[in-house]
Amino acid sequence: MFLRSALLLSLLVGCGVPDGTLLADVTDEQAVSLCEEAGEARTYTCEVEGMSYDITIGYEDIEDCKDEEAYSNDIPESCEATVGDARACSDAYEAALEEDPCTTDMPSECDYFKKCIKG
């Protein structure tokens, strides 16, 4: 569940929401706007011992993002993580995937808001 939520949070890379905005305060309207700003999905392929699998960040079809249950339902009001924290996590995670597409570890930049994810 954390990985799914982290990937949803990775959509918060758009420039329309200020870095200081608390994740718990992002409105559904802002979330839809962030879907549009996030751009196209990025896919990384991991190959291990002759088998491969893809890790996709973002959505292949922007309408799938807009149709997702509002991500804010996964963020408790007590969460103190910000959009800037989510951007730092997203950037670090994508950099880790570029270096090693088979990584299963979330970068330390994601630690701050792990406690904010329900489930």
- Pair of tokens at residue 17: 């929401």
Over the stretch 82-113, which tens digit does the pLDDT of each residue have?
Answer: 888 888 888 898 899 889 988 888 899 988 76
Residue 119: inside a domain: no
Q: Is the pTM of this model over 0.75?
A: no
Domain count, the chain: 1
| Sole residue written with tokens 């002759």 | 50
Asked if residue 39 is part of any domain, the answer here is yes
- What pLDDT shows up at residue 1? 39
pLDDT mean by block of 10 residues, the chain; 119 residues: 45 66 83 71 87 82 64 72 84 88 87 70
Distances (CA, A) of 102 to 17, 45, 86, 93, 106: 31, 8, 21, 12, 12
The parent domain of residue 98 ranges over: 2-114
